[in-house]
Chain A
Amino acid sequence: GAVVSQHPSRVICKSGTSVKIECRSLDFQATTMFWYRQFPKQSLMLMATSNEGSKATYEQGVEKDKFLINHASLTLSTLTVTSAHPEDSSFYICSARLYPDTQYFGPGTRLTVL
């Protein structure tokens, strides 16, 4: 149990385009999902907390207009990187919280912006 999927697993795009990443909890409902970013050889950095039916809460320094998050249902949250640039290239990982407190991670999406 407690499986989280992400799609796509890998994406390469041109600078200036937008990329959407989906995060799904497959066998449980998650009112709260999280989005992280991880650069090589660094730890996870929380970007935002996504709550079903309400606006996401962004961490300090994360541009909410650049990283659009939508949590439209209890099993799906999406992250859209708008007007991506090479510095946005990273490993993006979502997690879904299984009540009351355990986070299960998706497999991650590796974004490369050319």
Chain B
Amino acid sequence: QKEVEQNSGPLSVPEGAIASLNCTYSDRGSQSFFWYRQYSGKSPELIMSIYSNGDKEDGRFTAQLNKASQYVSLLIRDSQPSDSATYLCAVEERDTDKLIFGTGTRLQVFP
């Protein structure tokens, strides 16, 4: 059973701080990795995709991938209260089109 694991949280950070969200996965053959944000009662929204080892930056967001350790992370700099949401890590299953989702980490940014 291929799995994606995340700490459910909540992760509480003060406004302006860096939030660090982590994810591990079991399928060594996976090549595509995604972070989605889901506000309560809404559908997931794509934040970033990452395919290669290392860092990928987009605005306040940085995704980090380490395939040897089977580890993906998302850093959010200058966290804002509007960033408060559940962050879903998703890994594309090798040989299928399916995404395997983690259970999500709830982030709370307090003023």
- List the interface of chain A (C-beta within 8 A of B): 2, 32, 34, 42-44, 46, 49, 93, 97, 101-108
Other A-B pairs, 16, CB within 8 Å; known A105-B46, A106-B43? A2-B46, A42-B103, A43-B88, A43-B102, A46-B99, A49-B97, A49-B98, A93-B44, A97-B97, A101-B32, A102-B49, A105-B36, A105-B44, A105-B45, A107-B43, A108-B42
- List the interface of chain B (C-beta within 8 A of A): 32, 34, 36, 42-46, 49, 88, 90, 92, 97-99, 101-104
**Contact B88 A103, beta carbon cutoff 8 Å:** no
Distance between A71 CB and nearest chain B CB, rounded to angstroms: 13
A-B pairs with beta carbons under 8 Å apart, 22 shown: A2-B46, A32-B97, A42-B103, A43-B102, A43-B103, A43-B104, A44-B44, A46-B98, A49-B98, A97-B97, A101-B32, A101-B49, A101-B92, A102-B34, A102-B49, A103-B34, A103-B90, A104-B46, A105-B36, A105-B43, A107-B42, A107-B43
